[in-house]
Structure 1
């Protein structure tokens, strides 16, 4: 008798699963869109859960299989979802029709204080917070803030000199030390001398660690934030108390010191002192509590550590297997160190055009993220294929695959910094390491500048060699980012004065 209810429950579950799949398939076929039928209920998210491959590579299989389709329909429980492939349709989603696609497709989880950040905010809440955070990333602010990154990079180079064991093998963890130090300096005003073994570094490593639990959380979060809320899931639960307390202490100390450092704490303190944030057009308001400012700090922290460390890591790897390009980078860096008596400022970094081209090409080959998500907020139509898109439809768009498409980039697997020469530089609609449009990463310029600072000081003091034996790199399969896995790089001290 006990088995009967269990059997009935299983039969019911199978039938529900079956009919959801039929519904999803019919939904897209009626609209003239090819449907990915391998898994009709969860689509590529199911493939991600059951295969040892990162999600961007799962989408990459679809990109190759359906390369000349404008878009394909996906199973996504009962929510319409599609993977947009045609480059013009991608541009329409990310930039051209912002009024219809201004939702990231992921949103803050009720009860998860740190998820209420600018990445996951939507509608007027996102617009108001972005307008208040944007001043932190103007060219003038970055110029004033560069000294923090440069000091962190100098300290990191000295750390590498004094700790030879950190210079060999998988350098990702080592490079996280620099990125953690630079971000902590820019957000919390903490000096980098003591940051190489700090609570913040432990948090950074914890956030970047991926496992089955995080994989399930990610899928739940993408499929339905409401489901995540019902299940009581929190992405950053273990860091909530630490971050809120840390930001509170930083703001209190900064207020008492009355010192301007041109960093996040300055902006946050000014926002808090000005009181309620209010959009003059819509009347929407946000109270600048320590909690909500902590959520913004966590976003900048997470975005400034792992993705930046991986960008430096990928660039060093590519230089290690292209010694002729490495030599040109060394010459440019040495020239500027000698010209400016080792005083590397924001303006000097901007003069290093070849190094910037090298970094841009590295980020084409290994962008920080491999795909983007959006959600349609009003009925619209994609131009190529004349595809009707209903309000609420979840959209996935490729980045990695566009960057590696031979129809857009000749010989895409060849590392060629000259792609980014002034007369050859690709358009923004096919080069998008930080996304595209109004919802592109707000800290993109900061992140790139931080990576440049780290690269310049590392390569001033070290050359790089690779012990790579595999012909093709692989990626960490349970990471949300494009993170190299099987790459070993060795830093060898240079004889420079």
Structure 2
């Protein structure tokens, strides 16, 4: 018995040693620097054994190899590469997009809610994106804004009636608004002014951070074959509730002859048209309840967690910089005085508001990095780096946004970076929503939702930020990036 255990241990250690040497030699033969802190498990060893978020570990690599265009990273089964030059990022996300169109990690068959436009790849992704893009036209966003604006007004009244919510747990408050806003604007679900709902609980559960969810994420990134073998599913726990609710919505909408232009109407239109087909590729996709529910699930959770992070981030920064807050409130007050109300067209004219939002997404971007998978051999232009099919890529967001080469004094919250005179100089390194053909499909909607909440909150409240010096600076996230050392307090402006 002991001899068998010893043999297994020796075999495992030998495998790990040989695999580590292979990873190191693989990249050095290509003239690429190699991150040798852990040659097999790379960034995910520290992720599982320390309190660091993935983007923080990648940031250590970025700083250590600041003069390199890319750095090889240890991986259990497939080569991995951290791309650190904006021109190489441009090559991956735009110039040679066809070779890098896949997003990671790959979702296993049977992960029903994971089969959405965020994680889909290849012709299936292209077909689904084509069918969903019309949902975010300017006309539809204009109609949605009326709903978002009403939800924001209701939220302000909710806070006034519940003063215990005005101090602390700022991210939870932002989540409550975002959950109600997207439920109303996208799905037509009103909660009778209740900002705690089963949908919000579901979204929070989907983003629960625990050692198990961290392990699941690490395995999915380290080895597709192991992930498939053990049948990893990211959203299994949310399937019964969300698919059940969406099916009820579909059945109710089928009986209602009045079109309300919500997500359910788009889905019913796709179902009525039959099998979806891409003329160019011949790809076909059956619009089942399950696959349409998966798209709705993506819209919902994307409209809660990352959007709430952006709203909370904006409030936090404004609370730390009262002079910027006063300038923005002056713009809001003058705009309301001039137009009487806030509309889709009116907020599009608010230049300082747009600058504050853009700078928030730089300094408190909700996502720290982007994944891609190489599907055809390619060569990165800076460094002449050969990237083979199957290679997993990590693309910086946080590191670009905090690099003084692109954003001088990066720790400083300065909306003037995004004035019309300044913003063009840093566009290549600014990636809050990604870039290229896989740029976030709901980017313009997310902006509207955050601005609706921010405008009405600042119209009625002054924001103070409180720092806890004992708290960890960032939450230990998988791809998320959220400050945890600050919280906010809202004070009614008329009582100042």
SS at structure 1 position matched to 2:427: coil
CA distance in 2, matches of 1:79, 1:208: 27
Instruction: Give 1:64's aligned residue.
Output: 63
Supply the distance in 2 between the matched residues of 1:269 and 1:148 (Cα, whole angstroms). 21
Alignment map for 1:285-296 (pairs within 5 Å): 285-296=284-295
* Distance (whole Å) between structure 2 residues aligned to residue 234 and residue 472 of structure 1: 32
Q: Which residue of the partner structure matches residue 160 of structure 2?
A: 161
C-alpha deviations, 1:347-375, integer Å up to 9, x for none? 12212211111111011001111111111
Aligned to 1:425: 423
> Aligned partners of 2:173, 2:227: CA distance in 1, in Å?
33
1:170 aligns with 169
Going from structure 1 to structure 2, the CA distance change for 1:182 and 1:225 (only over 3 Å counts) comes to farther
1: distance between equivalents of 2:265 and 2:417?
A: 38
Note the C-alpha offset of 1:170: 2.7
Structure 2 counterpart of 1:396: 394
Show the counterpart of 2:227.
228
Partner of 2:463, secondary structure, is strand
The 5 A counterparts of 1:229-268 are 229-268=228-267
Native 8 Å contact 2:374 2:391 kept in 1: yes
Q: TM-score, normalised by structure 2?
A: 0.97
Q: Secondary structure at the match of 2:489?
A: strand
Match of 1:271 in 2: 270
List aligned pairs for 1:220-369, cutoff 5 A. 220-341=219-340, 343-369=341-367
CA shift for structure 1 position 227: 2.3
Q: CA deviation at 1:321?
A: 1.1
Which residue of the partner structure matches residue 384 of structure 1? 382
For residue 486 of structure 2, give the secondary structure of its aligned residue in structure 1: coil
Q: CA deviation at 1:229?
A: 2.9
Is the Cα contact below 8 Å between 2:155 and 2:193 reproduced in 1? no
State the partner residue of 2:184.
Answer: 185
1:276-305 deviations in Å (ceiling 9; x for gaps): 100011111000000001111111111110
Distance apart, 1:263 and its partner CA:
2.4
CA shift at 1:192, angstroms?
4.0
Alignment length (residue pairs): 494
Tell me the equivalent position of 2:104. Answer: 105
- Aligned-pair distance for 1:344? 1.7
How far the C-alpha of 1:454 sits from its partner, in A, is 0.6
The answer to whether residue 102 in structure 2 is matched with residue 134 in structure 1 is no
CA deviation after TM superposition for structure 1 residue 479, in Å? 4.5
Deviation at 1:255, TM superposition (A): 2.2
C-alpha displacement of 1:195: 4.1
Kindly state the Cα deviation for residue 425 of structure 1 after the two structures are TM-superposed: 1.1
Long gaps (5+) in structure 2: none
Q: Tell me if 1:25 matches 2:24.
A: yes
SS of the residue corresponding to residue 476 of structure 1 reads coil
CA–CA distance in 1 between the matches of 2:231 and 2:77?
21
| Superposition deviation, residue 486 in structure 1 | 1.5
Q: Deviations over 1:369-419 (max 9, x none)?
A: 111111111111000111111111111110011011001111111111011
Partners in 2 of 1:141 and 1:195 — Cα distance? 25
Structure 1 residue 373 and structure 2 residue 358: aligned? Answer: no
Distance 1:210 1:192, change over 3 A: same
Which residue of structure 2 aligns with residue 44 of structure 1? Answer: 43
Q: CA deviation at 1:205?
A: 1.6
Contact 2:270 / 2:276 at 8 angstroms: preserved in 1?
A: yes
How far has the Cα of 1:495 moved from its partner? 1.8
Distance 1:395 1:376 in 2: 8
Distance 2:399 2:471 in 1: 16
Which residue in the other structure is 1:8 paired with?
7
CA deviations on 1:468-487 (whole Å, 9 max, x unpaired) are 25399711013531111121
Q: Distance in 2 between matches of 1:268 and 1:204?
A: 21
Give distance in 1, aligned partners of 2:472 and 2:465.
12
Normalising by structure 1, what TM-score?
0.97
Q: How far, CA to CA, are the matches of 1:414 and 1:84 in structure 2? A: 25
Quote how far apart the aligned CAs of 1:216 are: 0.8
Preserved CA contact (<8 Å) 2:77 2:223: no
CA distance in 1, matches of 2:216, 2:31: 33
Separation in structure 2 between the aligned mates of residue 72 and residue 405 of structure 1, nearest angstrom? 17
> Does residue 448 in structure 1 map to residue 482 in structure 2?
no
